[in-house]
Structure 1
């Protein structure tokens, strides 16, 4: 079984942030299709019934779960073609997929929209991810998933703060799916590696650990044991952006978490290494289209439209 370092897994999970997580309940009868278009990240939890995939779900990781003994083992037999009650399915939208009900099925379908850190996530994860026996591996998250989606009639009033709560619920279930896949032996050897380069991975880890540090190209290059010019070229080739742009992205993602948690704009700016609140506001607005104070207020007092 491939073992994933717990600290590395924690770093991956900490980097995942949703902008939107909208859950809907879908009831299918035998033969019905649930199309999932490319370009859309979607999480499906099977509450009841059985589904097959088009194209067939022949890749993934099959787990044998002994619920009584609480033992999990990776099964090297081909992945079952059918998803059944308690299984979870995640697609990042790289290809069009359709799920067909083999019998009457009750599903929770969550439409996901990631923050800017999605580029790192999509580089780390295969598509799709199928987690069989998710309800046994992550019972609390499975129970949460099973309760998502509108439970009442369409006239049921929407309560204040529902979008924020739904997004947090969706993020909890999503992180649990990724953890179940990675922590139980489904991840490939060497996972997670953002760059497939151990020297660059060391640099990326340092940026995430201390986003507020004064990260010059020279300092980052020294961590990667490279010259400035070689580092800049290798980083851009592997990560897809310049070191400075990546540092800014990590800082803004960290700022969103801090502001949503109630931190002030000034405190967030100071912790993340900005020389002034004005400089922080300009960087934040370029990435999000909003000032930090406006974004913070929207997160803390979200009211559905």
Structure 2
């Protein structure tokens, strides 16, 4: 069968972020793959602090005051960044990093760990760089959240730690919103977040995220985006770094890991996600992860313990 994309001309792509403001691009992802923040420090940091890489563990640091050197990565990828203004530091995945502050009167920080559901396979984690530094003034609306976060983290009151943890999660959502509208400034070049930054591709991605059990053919995804098949396939590959079919399958399998962790049986997960049967899910799962669903779950539970 010949494709009839023919000579039909595609409308030029709108600027990144334009036209997508009314579309909720984050909720379908965050509802499937939650993130939990946990405050571990608020106040001055003097001298040299080391934050070791732990699988599945991210960090969100807020430099409130001061000047410091940040060392991140190891070996040939080790880099140094000088910070001299209030800055938010996001490490979405396990990356070794160090703070070098003056030995006395060090910089003032409020810091939390981030545990992303799915760890390194979390779709958000997979689509972000190892490290993002954002001056606080860049993110509209962030100041009000941080004012409340700092007020709670600086004083011990009933429920303050729980509230601070939730506020850190709000901060993360605000940062992710900013990244969707400014992917280049965040050094995001490919992946889910880049795809969601394109208003046309976002429509198809949201549809896939909301209905992982559906049969997402190229034709169906392109129709969701309002594009021809060839134009959609090319734009999708350029933005996400993968094909529509591979993305749809990867999303199914990522959701499968979430359901397995929640206690669903392999058979039920297969039914929930539109696989023909449990063996079909197991074969696809092994091709992508190198282990069966049960083997993967055993490894995950052992690592969590």
Q: For this structure pair, what is the TM-score category when the shorter chain's length is used for normalisation?
A: 0.5 to 0.7
Q: Is the Cα contact below 8 Å between 1:43 and 1:91 reproduced in 2? A: yes
CA distance in 1, matches of 2:180, 2:216: 31
Q: Is the Cα contact below 8 Å between 2:51 and 2:97 reproduced in 1? A: yes
Distance 1:267 1:260, change over 3 A: same
| Greater RCO (Cα-Cα under 8 Å, separation 6 or more) | 1
TM-score when scaled to structure 2?
0.60
Query: Cα deviations across residues 124-161 of structure 1 (Å, max 9, x unaligned)?
Result: x9822457764724959972598xxxxxxxxxxxxxxx
Unpaired segments ≥5 residues, structure 1? 59-80, 147-168
Distance 1:196 1:256, change over 3 A: same
Q: Determine the structure 2 residue equivalent to 1:143.
A: 161
Q: Determine the structure 1 residue equivalent to 2:133.
A: 128
1:228 aligns with 2:246: no
Q: CA deviation at 1:122?
A: 1.2
CA distance in 2, matches of 1:145, 1:43: 18
CA distance in 1, matches of 2:181, 2:83: 22
CA distance in 1, matches of 2:271, 2:246: 19
3-state secondary structure, aligned to 2:101? strand
CA distance in 1, matches of 2:235, 2:216: 17
Distance 1:241 1:117, change over 3 A: same
Unpaired segments ≥5 residues, structure 2? 1-19, 70-80, 137-141, 154-158, 184-192
Q: Is the Cα contact below 8 Å between 1:120 and 1:194 reproduced in 2? A: no
1:11 aligns with 2:28: yes
TM-score when scaled to structure 1?
0.60
> Please, what is the CA RMSD of the aligned residues?
4.8
Distance 1:270 1:205, change over 3 A: same
CA distance in 1, matches of 2:49, 2:293: 39
CA distance in 2, matches of 1:173, 1:216: 39
Q: Determine the structure 2 residue equivalent to 1:89.
A: 89
Q: CA deviation at 1:119?
A: 5.8
Counterparts in 2 of 1:36-75, with a 5 A limit?
A: 42-45=58-61, 52-54=67-69, 55-57=81-83
| Count of aligned pairs between the two proteins | 247
Q: Determine the structure 1 residue equivalent to 2:294.
A: 293
Q: Determine the structure 1 residue equivalent to 2:120.
A: 114
